[in-house]
Structure 1
């Protein structure tokens, strides 16, 4: 800013333009804009610091929750060992109870089986006897059904023959009745048609007589009219012939007069045409001069306005250039700090993820080894296969519950990791949307950037 002020003072000393109100107004406006931009960037800096503090607190909370989950996991492993010892004792007790229960159930099943066999034999004899009785009843019903069917067929044939004879008799009666009606209707229509024809013939003859009378009267009137017109036209033709001769003489005299006047006009119009052409050329030159004069004045005004705009723009350009240089320096400092913090967070998060994953794999390996030892121990104990299956199912249920607990811990770890990555991606997208380029991106931040910018 000092260099710019020195340059401006040198230019003012050399040029020394007069200071008017417009320059003062422009300088005041530029100062207000500069103050507004400074306030805006201060607010943005405060917002970034607030976002960073919030994310730092969230990260510390996530770390604390991870430590608590690890402690819970260790406590659950200890409880799991105690529960395994308890379940082993319960398994021994259940095996003994199962043997006693199986022997008792075998005796009861044998007694129930013998009683059921006797009951089924009695039921089978009763069913065979009922089946024979049912077959005899079916045969009797079939014979009665055939006899009823033959009786119904004979009765139906008789009824069909009677109905057919009745229908034929009714058809003949209806045929005779409608023939009589048709004959009487035809006679009535013939008489009506003859009467209508007679009336039409009478009306036609009266109309013909009226037309003949009208035509004769009209022809007589037309004949009288044309005879009168013919006599009048002959007199008019004679009068018109006399007028035509007089007009021909007048036209001959007028043609000679017109020729003389045309010659006189021709001699007078040639100088007039020259003067008119000269007048048109002078008027066009005057119009061109006036247009050029107005265009010159407009160009002078435009040049003056352009010079003022160039001075204003050059001053604004110098101010903006200095502001831009300052902003670039601030941006580079913030960007370096941000990239360093971001890389540190990513490195620590990756290390914690690997550590937790290794712990989970170690716990899974220990559980698999304990399952194998338990299976081998049960095989050596010579346990009954049915009891073995039931015991394996119970053990499997217990292991499933433990696996579910481990899976819940994995899901919790995944959610915490995703939350941490989302916070980092939010900061990256915010920096990108506000025009801070050159930051180190992380995978999965593109979608978050789009949502934050929107």
Structure 2
């Protein structure tokens, strides 16, 4: 509406200027006509003078006899012509004076009309300025109300987002805490790492809270660009281009909204990455536990097999040694050998028995060494499981028991022979 009123006022001013230009052209035309008339009268005077000269020449050529008669007539006509010329000059001067008076009157009328048009224009301009000021105040109030509504909506979304983040973080923390309390209990290392992750998530939540606070502060700082926009509207009120400022503010608000939406999306992606990282760590822990259990079972089975084989061989050798001793006594009694031969046979058999006993001791040493290696492996894996937070009750529930052995807790390669 303001633009249309401005265009109408501008068109009226243009029409008045065109009327003034038309009046100026009429005055120029009248002056041109006056100059033409003056030139016509001058031309007539010249023509009369020319005719007079021609008549004078004709009279002179007609004869010198009529000189005196024509001289009087000529003088009379010359006097008449001079009087006519003088009257024409007076008439021309009067015409000039009348034209000047008419021009002065037209100028005065033009000045009056121009004064009226100027007063009318000033009145219209004052009314237009008052309407523009009123519309500017209305627009300022509307923009202020819109800014307050936008700030309130952004604060509500910020509070909702903060509450959702806090609930999600508390829920995740509670789930993690319950899970590790139920399954791992004293798994200190994993709990420390998860506490670090939870602390990082809390730092992230604090960073998000700070970010939302910065967003709120930036929204508050939007009042300064609004004041600058109002000043520029005041400066450009005659040009009425405040619509461009509104469009620019709207584009800035939309860009800020897209930026906040992108930040929310990035936070969700980061939360998903942390969840995947937690699941990966959990799967690695389960894989490590399964590997340990499989290794312990394999070592236990191998140790039992070796111990069983060695015990069987040792029992068979003891039985064989007892049978050989009984057979030797029976042979000595049946042979009725003299004491020297019996002693020689006994020494030979003693040497043979010593070698057999040495083999038996080696086998016993091998059994002791394998038992110690099994016990050392079981003790090492038990310590590792304890370090990973697995309770001792669950470790004993796996069914792995140390083998009975008289060896100490030195490394398996340091078992001493008897």
Determine which structure has greater relative contact order: mean sequence separation of CA pairs < 8 Å that are 6+ residues apart, divided by chain length: 1
Q: Taking structure 1 as the reference length, what is the TM-score of the superposition?
A: 0.27
Richer in helix (by share):
1
TM-score, normalization: structure 2?
A: 0.29
